[in-house]
Amino acid sequence: MNDIIIKTLQTQDAAPLLQFELENRAWFEQYIAPRDESFYTPHGVQRHIEHYLDGYANGTWHPCLLLDTGGRVVGRANLKDINRHTASAEAGYRIARDAAGQGLATRALQHLIALAQEQWRLQQLQAYVTDNNLASVRVLNKCAFVQGPYQDGMECVAGTLYGGHQFTRTLR
């Protein structure tokens, strides 16, 4: 899937974003904590988008969507907790189950790195990955993130408390 578009999230993306999240809910919940049930409604996704766009306007978030050539959402990528004083942010991404293994997470993370450097002028990115998500560890390693020390109890996934690692990438 080489022909993808990565764009900043917009208000009118609510319906396709809800479809993406509903179709991939079980897949995501194997690796990350579940979202609140109220998220999975048109109103819930609209509130979610408004929250992210408020953060974007305030300079604390940069939410992105990955779209295939037909305009279907196949992934998300975000810079969150952008801190201009420390010149840092957290990078995160999620890829649709039927698009996994095609390099999209790597492309999404490379896009976030470029945004962090060029638009936000950041000097460091962090990402957090639990032990049950080896695919994300590979993506972070491929994108020159360095694994930090082990952290117990990082996230509860499907009733199991997982530890994991913070990964860091120094920019410029």
31 residue type, one letter = Y
Single out the residue of 128, 129, 111 nearest to residue 120, CA to CA.
Answer: 111
Assigned domain for 168 exists: no
Assigned domain for 160 exists: no
Cβ atoms of 85 and 103 within 8 Å: the answer is no
Q: What is the pLDDT of residues 156-165, one digit of tens each?
A: 888 888 899 9
Single out the residue of 119, 90, 140 nearest to residue 6, CA to CA.
Answer: 119
Angle at 127 between CA 101 and CA 50, to 5 degrees: 90
Assigned domain for 148 exists: no
Assigned domain for 163 exists: no
Q: What's the domain range around 108?
A: 5-122
Q: What is the pLDDT of residues 46-101, one digit of tens each?
A: 999 999 999 999 999 999 999 999 999 999 999 999 999 999 999 999 999 999 99
Q: How many domains does the chain have?
A: 1
pTM score, two decimals? 0.93
